[in-house]
Amino acid sequence: MRERVDRVIRAEAVLTPAGFAPGAVTITGGIVTAILPVDEPVETRPIAESGLHDGGATDIRLPKGLVLLPGLVDTHVHVNEPGRTDWEGFASATRAAMFGGVTTVIDMPLNSIPPTTTVRGLELKRAAAGPQSSVNVGFWGGAVPGNLGTLHELHAAGVFGFKAFLSPSGVDEFPALSSAELLAAGAEIAAFGGLLLVHAEDPAELDAAPPAHGRSYAGFLASRPPQAEASAIDRVIDAVRRTGVRAHILHLSAAAALPRLRAARAEGLPITVETCPHYLSFAAEQIPDGATAFKCCPPIRDAANQELLWEALLDGTIDLVASDHSPATAELKLGHGGDFGLAWGGISGLELSLPAVWTAARASGIGLERVLGWMSAATARFAGLPGKGTIRQGADADLVSFAPEESFTVDVSALQHKNPVSAFDGATLRGRVHSTWLAGTLVHETGPSGAGVTGVTSPAASAPPEDPPRGALLRRPAPTP
C-alpha cells in the first residue's frame, strides 16, 4: 500500500519533461513525489496533518480544458523596492506574478535605492521582500565601477549573478562599466564561477544616433539602432573569450546580433541569450506615435525583426524568455505628452507574460510545451534552480492550472502591479491562469466565471536561506508549517 500524500492534482494534460500526458501529480512536503496514471487511487492525509497551508481539497481534478504546468520562473523583474516603491514594490509585483502563474521571480539590482551592489543593499532587499512576497524571490547583484573587487562578497551572500550596463542605465546610482571594467568584472566573476548579465547597448553607437525626442515612434527607434546591440554584444563575446566568464545577454531585441551569437556558441563560448514577451508580441509598425507605454530599451523593432527572434528561439540561439517587467509611475511613463525622449523606458508585463507569449506562439503553430520550455525550464536552469521549472519526481510543487484556449481582453486597471500602465492594455490574449500552487499550497485561484479574481492568502515567508553561495531564494521549497 502506497504512503498517504498531502495532495494529488489530476489533469488530462500534465506537462512533464516528456511532454503533455494525462497524470496524477502527488505532493508531500511541498515536493512532487510521483506522477501516476490519472485515475490511480491515492490516499491523502487530513489537511491539518499535511504541510499545506490552504485548507482546500486534497484530491483535486482539474476541469476539462485546463492543463497543469510548472510555475514560471521569471529571471528579469525590476521590483524597485526599497527606494522607488512608488514605481513598484514586492507586495504588488509578487501578487502580479502569482496571478500570472509565475512562482519564482529574480529581482534586478536596479532601480531600487540602494541598488543591490553591496551586501548591505542585498540585506535591505531581503528585509523588504520577506514579509510581503507572495512567491519565491531571489536577487541578482549589480557590477558597477564602485564595487569591482568586492563581488565575491555579494556572491557568497547569495545573489544569483551580476548585472552590468555598458551604456547609461537610466538611474544615476547604477553607472555603466567601461570596456576595461567589463573585462575586470568578467575576470573577477569567472574566478568564483559566477554569472555576468549584460544590458548590451553600445554607448558610442547610441551617441552617434539621432537623440530621441518628440512623439514619433520611428524617431525613438532610430535613436537606439540594432548596431548598438550588435556592437555591445561583440564586446561581451570578447570579454567571455578573454576571461572565461559565463555571460548572459539580457533582453535581446536586434535580430542583427544573432549571427555573432550563433558563431560564439559554435566556438563553445558560455553565453546565454534572453528575449522578452513584448519583442515577441508587438512590432514597431503597430505602435502609435506618442504611445510611450511601449517605450523600452532596447526598443521594440519591426515585424521582420520579430520573425527572426522567433526563429532564433526555435533553433535555440535564444535560450529563454523573461518579462523585463520594469514599471515606473504613471506620471513618468505617460506624463510627458507622449515624448519618447522624456518618458521612462520600461514595460509592465509580469502578469501577462505567459498569455502574451502563448498567444503569439499559438498563432504560429508553436506548442505550449515550447513556451514553457523558454519561460520555466530554461529560466530555472539559467538561474541554477534544479527544483524549479519542471514537473517531475523530486521537483518543488510550484504548479499552475492554465486554460490554453480561453481568451480575454486585458484591462490594465484589473492587473496587480502597482501603476496601471501596460503596453498590453486592450490586447486580446489567449490563455488564462486559473490556479497557482506554491510548494503544493494553493495561493491563487480565479473565480468560477473567470471574472472575479481572488487572491488566496499565501503562507508566511520561511527562514532565511541556508546555502547562500548558489543563488538563494527567500522562500525555500518546503515552507515550514
When the beta carbons of 169 and 317 are compared against Zn ion, the nearer one is 169
Compare residues 119 and 171 and give the one whose CB is closer to Zn ion: 171
Q: Which is nearer to Zn ion, 326 or 390 (CB)?
A: 326
Judged by beta carbon, residue 379 or residue 446, the one nearer Zn ion is: 379
CB of residue 87 to Zn ion, shortest distance in Å: 13
User: Measured from the CB atom, is 126 or 278 closer to Zn ion?
Assistant: 278
Minimum distance of Zn ion from residue 165's CB (angstroms)? 10
Which lies closer to Zn ion via its Cβ, residue 75 or residue 390?
Answer: 75
Q: Which is nearer to Zn ion, 278 or 388 (CB)?
A: 278
Least distance from Zn ion to the Cβ atom of residue 97, Å: 15
Q: How far is the CB of 163 from Zn ion (least distance, A)?
A: 8
Least distance from Zn ion to the Cβ atom of residue 28, Å: 37
Rg (CA), the chain: 21
Contacts 24+ apart (CB under 8 A), 53-61: 53/441, 53/458, 53/459, 53/479, 53/481, 54/441, 54/442, 54/443, 54/456, 54/457, 56/442, 58/6, 58/7, 58/8, 59/7, 59/8, 59/10, 60/7, 60/8, 60/9, 60/10, 61/10, 61/11
Closest distance between Zn ion and the C-beta of residue 229, in Å? Answer: 14
**Shortest Cβ distance from residue 276 to Zn ion (Å)?**
9
The H or E element spanning position 180 is: helix 179-191
Instruction: Select 20 or 165, whichever has its Cβ closest to Zn ion.
Output: 165
Report the nearest approach of Zn ion to the CB of residue 173 (Å): 15
Dist CA 47 CA 25 (whole Å):
17
Residue with smallest beta-carbon separation from Zn ion: 324
Please identify, using beta-carbon distances, which residue of 324 and 445 lies nearer to Zn ion: 324
Of 58 and 80, which CB lies nearer to Zn ion in the complex structure? 80
Nearer to Zn ion, 281 or 326 (CB): 326
In whole angstroms, how close is the CB of 108 to Zn ion at the nearest point? 5
Give yes or no for a contact between 102 and 73, defined as CB atoms under 8 angstroms apart: yes
DSSP for residue 232: H
Chain centroid to CA 272: 15
Residue tagged 537606439 (cell numbers): 224
Which among 56, 100, 63 has a CA at the least distance from the CA of 449?
Answer: 63
Q: How many residues does the chain have?
A: 481
Instruction: For 118-245, list the strands marked E by DSSP.
Output: 136-139, 141-142, 162-165, 195-199
Buried/exposed code over 273-283 (b: 16+ C-beta within 10 A; e: otherwise) = bbbbbbbbbbb
Minimum CB distance to Zn ion, residue 135 (Å): 18
Angle at 131 between CA 450 and CA 118, to 5 degrees: 120
C-alpha cell at 207: 551617441
Distance separating alpha carbons of residues 392 and 30, to the nearest angstrom: 13
- Alpha carbon 245 to chain centroid, angstroms: 22
Q: What is the helix (H) or strand (E) element at residue 379, kind and residue range?
A: helix 378-383
Q: How far is the CB of 223 from Zn ion (least distance, A)?
A: 18
The neighbouring-strand residues paired with 196 are 162, 247
Binding site for Zn ion (CB under 5 A): 324, 326
